[in-house]
A and B are shown apart, each in its own frame.
Chain A
Amino acid sequence: EIVLTQSPGTLSLSPGERATLSCRASQSVSSSYLAWYQQKPGQAPRLLIYGASSRATGIPDRFSGSGSGTDFTLTISRLEPEDFAVYYCQQFGSSPPWTFGQGTNVEI
């Protein structure tokens, strides 16, 4: 099973600042199979990034993803008030289980 470790656990920032979130895998993951999600309280997760760097439909360009192998990054270039939420990475490696990271809480 591939374990995804996200850091930091909590990121305290202000609107307008840049957020950098890390996702590290216990073994190499194909870039095609690394996704990022945003979740707000009481809502389902929402797909932000897939294939490590491709934005999902309707996602603003202030969200970007990068990385390969075991190290992946989600960057929010300028935080908007609606971006304060929990962010999860997920891998779709060669075989299940297709695990999630434990999440990073981006708070004001």
Chain B
Amino acid sequence: QVQLVESGGGVVQPGRSLRLSCAASGFIFSNYGMHWVRQAPGKGPEWVAFIWSDATDYVDSVKGRFTISRDNFKNTLYLQMNSLRAEDTAVYYCARGPTGRLDVWGQGTTVTVSS
């Protein structure tokens, strides 16, 4: 069945880096735009980044620090997070994004930025 599985979360000190991965299965990965969405504790979801073919977009708060990428041969989405801040602490979800919606979500991976 269609599935997304995130990994790579953990506890990291401010200023350090982390790379998240999202393994996709059950659909033709290369045919879809893909997103990262995060949710801070007790807050609503926040859209973070998007990739479709060679095009990428980011929310302003992560521009210059985060990089979204994909490997269509490995059916995997990535989020490289550098210069992490306390406010980046959240559950990070990858999601499949046909036009105008996020129709499949992973279970999420938790990132905690703390000294």
A binding-site residues for B, Cβ under 8 Å: 32-35, 37, 39, 44-47, 50-51, 56-57, 86, 88, 90, 92, 96-103
Whether the pair A51, B60 counts as a contact (CB closer than 8 A) is: no
Q: How far is the CB of A67 from chain B (nearest CB, A)?
A: 14
Whether the pair A44, B46 counts as a contact (CB closer than 8 A) is: no
Whether the pair A44, B44 counts as a contact (CB closer than 8 A) is: no
A selection of 19 A-B contacts at a CB cut-off of 8 Å is A32-B99, A32-B100, A37-B102, A44-B105, A44-B107, A45-B37, A47-B103, A51-B101, A57-B103, A86-B44, A88-B44, A90-B45, A90-B102, A96-B57, A97-B60, A99-B47, A100-B45, A101-B44, A103-B44
B binding-site residues for A, Cβ under 8 Å: 37, 44-47, 50, 57-60, 93, 99-103, 105-108
Complex Cα distance, B18 from A35, in Å, reads 30
Complex Cα distance, B102 from A56, in Å, reads 10
Whether the pair B50, A100 counts as a contact (CB closer than 8 A) is: no
Complex Cα distance, B103 from A95, in Å, reads 19
Residues of B within 8 A of A98 (CB): 47, 50
Residues of A within 8 A of B50 (CB): 96, 98
Q: Which residue of A lies closest to B48 (CB)?
A: A97
Residues of A within 8 A of B37 (CB): 45
